[in-house]
Each structure stands twice: as structure tokens, then as C-alpha cells.
A and B are shown apart, each in its own frame.
Chain A
Amino acid sequence: MAQAQAHSGPMVTADGVPLKTSLRRAERRRKITAFMLVVPLLAFILLTFIAPIGDMLWRSVDNPAIINTLPNTVTALEDWDGEELPPEEAFAAMVEDLRVGQENRSIGQVGIRLNYEMSGARSLFSRTARNADSLEPPYKEALLDAHRRWGDVETWRLIKREGRPYTASYYLSAVDMRYADDGSVAMQPENQRIYVALFMRTLALSLAITVLTLLLGFPIAYLLATLPLRYSNLLMIMVLLPFWTSLLVRTTAWIVLLQQQGVINDLLVAVGLIGDDGRLTMMHNWIGTIVAMTHILLPFMVLPLYSVMKTIPPSYQRAARSLGANPFVAFVRVYLPQTVSGIGAGAILVFIISIGYYITPALVGGQSGQLISNLIADHMQRTLNWGLAAALGSILLGGVLILYWLYNRIVGIDNMKLG
């Protein structure tokens, strides 16, 4: 009887509270506890990971300098068609903006910002602004007198184009493009294209490092997984030992080994393989980057491979042998396919780490061993073009996400075993 009642409407508990409400109440405490456990890490990640990435994405399009410092000019140029020099009102607005900008010292920002697009813009603004107070109307002539580039239509077009709160010009620069005089998008002149080639080199070197770590790591991982425990433990320590050593120490160790007066060259000369004048250049070029990074990233390949191989019982290969497969066929058709998840995990790990690697290429890479991250750092620290650095970083991030998506489509992320 009681059951029949319970089924006729929503389920209720013995004391008449709807079952769902009761369940929610009972579960709430547990959920709150679980959430509290997550809070510290969540806050940490928000603060140190999500927020900086958001800021980077924002900076790559953010363009406040001109619209904030030259508000009158931007307004005055709104209706200008860009064919000939703008009318007198625009010049007047510019002088007004220059005076205000000089007073609160914000005009330098404009110079720096426009200098990314047009060399000489910085001195144009700083010099004119210094004398802005003494300029008399008509301002067109006065400005043309003060600096001949005010008579250049290109200057005004640039101001109009960049007088918007957001810009794509950082992204264009990051892929070796620019706005042509007429405002359309064009490639940079041949001799100023650097970023696309650098992206390509970063991809190529990362790929080479991934393949090398796989070739070197696979046999080691196999040994680790199949040797008796006492030997495999020793081997595991040898794999992990470099892992526990400072990155800087390892990189400088490679400098000692690879440099022209270094250990390897000395050895080769001593053995007589090369003459003293024919010492190999293995450092401060891409060879140094590949060698040192392969060494440093090897554990990232070995460990996922090992953890997958550890789960493959030796009986599979024995079964294949007993069924008539020679050792090679047994390996290729039975063992190798079962390690794919480990290969995928190791490869994607090594590739993603190396694509954004900084320290090692900076120390041993020289000119031809630089990666895109080195240039990003350069723009952050030396040229202070953070917008361009942010755009380069965003492209790198996007590229990694696309690769990750491709990997997921082809191999399936569920098949990835990191350990």
C-alpha cells in the first residue's frame, strides 16, 4: 500500500520529504567539502595560469596608446578619405593633442607604438611635441615646417588606422605581414621576414627532437620494462638522474662537451679523426640545440613509454612466436601496436615542451638554433614590444592546441598514458 502511494507521485522519504530534496541535502555537505579541497589549487591556477594567458591574449590586440593620447586627432580624421593630406581641423586637433600629451608625458607612448609600424615615428612625435606650445595657426603649415613627415599622407593614414582600440597589426607582424600604404594586407619585404621562418624552424627542430628522443628512448624503455627488477631499478635511476639535475647544469655541461675547444673536439683531434684546424662546430648552431634538448627531454619520452610497456606481458610476444612469427614480425605486429599509446603520450609531451623551450636554445643555440620562444623573450625584455610578443605567444598557443586537437582526432586522447 505504502509503495503504491510512493509510486503515484514523486518519491518521498519515510518522513514525507521529497526524495530528491532529501538527497540534495544529504549530498550538499560532501560537495562543499570536495569543493573546498579544490579551492586552493583552483585559485592558484586562476591567478598564475588562466589570468596571464588571458592578459597575453588581450595584449596581442589591445591598442590604447593612440586613441587615448590623440583623441581629438582620431575624431577629426574620422571623415577623412585618406587620399590627400587631411584638412586644417585635423592638424589643429593634432597640435592640441600634442600639447596635452607633452604636458602629461603620454606622447612618448604614441611614438613608441607608431614606431613599430613606421620607423622614425618616435622622433617625429617627441620633437614636434617639445615645440608644440610655440606653434601658431594655421597649424597645417606650422606642422609641415616643424617636421617634413607631417606632409606625408602615410603618417596620417597610420594614425587613422591605429586610432582604434583594437589592432590586428601585431598578428600581421607575427606572420611577416603588414598593412600596405593603401591599407590592404601585404607581405613584409623579403629581407624583413623572420617570424614565419622561425616558426617553421621551431616546428622542424621540435619534430627532430621528438623523433630522436623516440629513437633513443624506445630501446631504453623496453629494457626497463623487461629486465629483472634489480637491473631495471639501476637503469631507472640512470634515466632519472639527469632529470633531478638542474637544467642549467646540464646545458652548461653540453657547452663543455660541444664547444670548439671542448671535450668531444679534443677527443676527435687526439684520435686523429679531424685535424686541429678542422674542429667541428657543434654549438651555437642548431646542432647544439638538438643535442642538448634531446638529452634534456629524453626522460619525458622514456617514462610514458616505460609505463605502457610495463603493462604488456611477455606472453604476447611468446604467443606470437609460437604462432609462427619470427622475432621481427612478432615485434612489429604484436608488440609495437600495443605501445602506440605510450609513443603518442611521449611524443606529444616532448613536442609541446620543446616547441616552447627557451633556456637551452638561448645558451647553446646561437643564431641557427634559436626558437620562437627566444624571440618572444627578446621582444619582452629588449625591444619591449609586448604586443608583438603576445601575438607570437598566442600563435604558438593556438598551434599547440591545433596539434593537440589533431592528435585527439587521430590517436584519441583517451589512449594516451602518461604514467
Chain B
Amino acid sequence: MSESNDAFVRFINVQKSYDGETLVVKNLNLDIAKGEFVTMLGPSGSGKTTCLMMLAGFETATSGEIMLNGRGINKVAPHKRGIGMVFQNYALFPHMTVAENLAFPLQVRKVSKAETEQKVQRALDMVQLGHLGNRRPAQLSGGQQQRVAVARALVFDPDLVLMDEPLGALDKNLREQMQYEIKHIHESLGVTVVYVTHDQSEALTMSNRIAVFDDGVIQQLAPPPDLYERPLNAFVAAFIGENNQLHGKVVEIKGDDCKVQLDDGSIIHALKVNVDKVGDRTTLSLRPERVAIAPPEGQYPNVFEARVEELIYLGDHIRTRVSLCGTDEFIVKIPNAHAHASIARGETVQVGWAMEDCRALDAS
């Protein structure tokens, strides 16, 4: 607890309501360290953008306190917070050139003309647009506008930069490229970034930590590998990556190993995550790539007969839909490796998985 007290950004018991009847953000507590890249990830309406707007100062917290660098900022006007922000549709001022856009935050801070020019040029060079200073935003491509927006949010050397789904308007290739660029900028400048998105791959690529939002609550706050491999509840498991969900009842708990009886009667050995006692309903979460086809005898405690329903060739892997344990929506990813298992539709195969890969979560 002592280490989080000198956190750079702190949300302390923050609540937000627009209509006085429902809470959009329910009792949010979040500490962000200096230099960290934290992503708020969640479906639309989960409260993540509201949190960002409260941090930027465009929305006021209904209750609770937001701290920035040890100082409460609830009553500080947005323009005095010194937070850079990249908006969803860039919000580049259309009547100014790119260079004027970048100079704007420096001019309102009364930075000298020479220094302004130098900083603008440095920021433009940082995003590799040094030659486009005299263009209007409308003359730039989407990706270039995006870079200008990032440069503008950084040009006045803020300690904290907020990004509100900045890559939403770009096509897939450009989006991936920009993800790497933002990541590199973050690493080289050491600036703290709070990033909002609903795109999980974006979040996984860039973040130090991801806060998964749903229904105004942070469901899990963890680094990307933890989030993917060790989801704490059924929502996170379903929201991050693909996963097979099996529903059943706990019949025996032995240390971490918990035996679950599915609705069709089959018994599965799963890792106990958030089930309490025998008799609880539970959702089992299992990543499709952790399921093996025709595993060697005795390797896995969970081995079942499965009927192949559908095969979809996706290049790097083959997505296979099989029916087992009373569901026909069970997905297995077969990597397109040398000498991979070759199976055909309608066949019956053995599939198996380890106890640790099958997580017993809340009933959801």
C-alpha cells in the first residue's frame, strides 16, 4: 500500500453519475505509476471513456477524488492540468497549419518564439512529419493526422498523455503500425500514458498494464500476459481473446485442483480460481490453442471424445469446431505446424488439456 501512495495518477473511490439514478463508474480505485502505459479496455458503455474525461477535466467526478502527482485535481480546470490528450477524431484545428497546431499549446503557455519553433520541429521530426509543417490537416492522410495529433499532445512536454481510442478511424494495417510507433514513443520519452480502447489486440500490444472495464467496475487490472493467461473472472476470460466456456457444478476441491461436473455429467479437472465451495456453479474457461488433438496417453487428466463439426483454414492455424461434453461450440486451434494432425469433418478424435489451462471461474 505504501508504494501506491506515491503513484502518479490515483483514482480514489471515484463515482460518476449523469442522471442521479445510475452510476456509470462505480467506486473506481486505480493507481498509475509514473512512466506507465495503462490501457482502459472495455466494451462501449463500460465507463472507460468517462474515467478518461474525468481525468482530463471535461467531466466532474460525482464523488471521490482524482489525484495527479500527489495533488487533488477535482477542482482544477482542464487547461491548468497540463495533460496532453489525443482525441478519437484527432481534433486538429482545421483553420491552422500543422505547425500552427503544434505551436498552439506553446503559444498559450507564452513560450518564446524561437523555442516554440524548435520544439515544433522536434515534435514533427519525432513523428517523421518534419516536411509537412505547412500543410493543413485536411491535406494529410488519416495516419499523418494521427501522428500530428500525437505530436501535438506531446509538444509541450506533459507528464501525462491521455489517448481516447486514437486509432479507431484507421485501417487495420495502419493501426498496427501506429500501435508500434506509439509504443516506441512512450518508451523513448518515458511519459505516462492512459489509453482508452475497446480493441483488445491494441491493448495487449502497447500496455504495461490493462484495466478491463465492465459495467463501471474494473474487472481485472493486470499486465497483458496475466490478463490473457490468468483471467480472474468469466467476463475477462471471454472479453480477452477467444475462449471455450463450459458450465457445471463443483463436486470436489483438493488444493488447486477442483473437480467439476458438467451439465451432461462429464467430470473435468480444473484450476480453482474463484470458486468457494463444493456445490457452486462455475464457468470453465479454456483457450482454444491449449487443447491438443490426440494427446499421448496419460499426458492430460482431461481427455474426451470429440466429433469434428467444422474446419476453417486460416493460414497460420486451422480453426476446428468440435462437439464434446454436451456443446457443439467447442473450438480447437490446430497450429499449421509441420506434420500437424490432419483430421476431416465428421471424424471422431480424442482431445485433451491440462488441469492448469482450464480455469474454474465464477458462474457469470
Chain A residues close to B by CB (< 8 Å): 313, 315-316, 318-327, 329-330, 333-334, 337-338
Contacts and interface: CB of A to CB of B under 8 A. Distances in A.
Interface residues of B, number: 28
Contact of A318 (B91, B95, B105, B152): B91
Nearest to A329: B108
A313 B89 contact: yes
B93 A322 contact: no
A326 B77 contact: yes
Interface stretch (B65-73, B79-87, B178-186): B79-87
B88 A324 contact: no
29 contacts: A313-B89, A315-B88, A315-B91, A316-B93, A318-B58, A318-B87, A318-B91, A319-B85, A319-B87, A319-B91, A321-B57, A321-B79, A322-B57, A322-B79, A322-B85, A322-B153, A323-B84, A323-B104, A323-B105, A323-B108, A324-B80, A324-B109, A325-B105, A325-B108, A327-B79, A333-B104, A337-B95, A338-B93, A338-B95
Interface string B146-175: 000000110010000010000000000000
A324 B108 contact: yes
Contact of B79 (A316, A324, A337, A338): A324
B295 interface: no
B91 A313 contact: yes
A411 B105 CA distance: 27
B237 interface: no
Nearest to B83: A322
Interface in B27-81: 56-58, 77-81
Q: Which 6 pairs between the two chains have the least Cβ-Cβ distance? A: A319-B91, A323-B105, A322-B85, A315-B91, A321-B78, A337-B95
A165 to B, nearest CB: 55
B82 A324 contact: yes
A325 B152 CA distance: 13
Contacts of A323: 79, 84-85, 104-105, 108, 152-153, 156
B326 interface: no
Contacts of A319: 85, 87, 91-93
B225 interface: no
A314 B296 CA distance: 61
A326 B81 CA distance: 11
Contacts of A318: 56, 58, 78, 85, 87, 91
B265 interface: no
Contacts of B241: none
A323 B77 CA distance: 12
Interface string B117-153: 0000000000000000000000000000000000011
A322 B95 CA distance: 18
Contacts of B56: 318, 322
Given A315-B87, A322-B83, A326-B77, A334 B93 contact: yes
A128 to B, nearest CB: 72
Contacts of B152: 323
Nearest to A325: B108
A250 B126 CA distance: 62
Contacts of B88: 315
B94 interface: yes
Contacts of B58: 318, 321
Interface centre among A319, A323, A326, A329 (most CB of B within 10 A): A323
Contacts of B93: 316, 319-320, 334, 338
Nearest to B102: A323
A153 B4 CA distance: 109
A334 B91 CA distance: 11
Contacts of B79: 321-327, 330
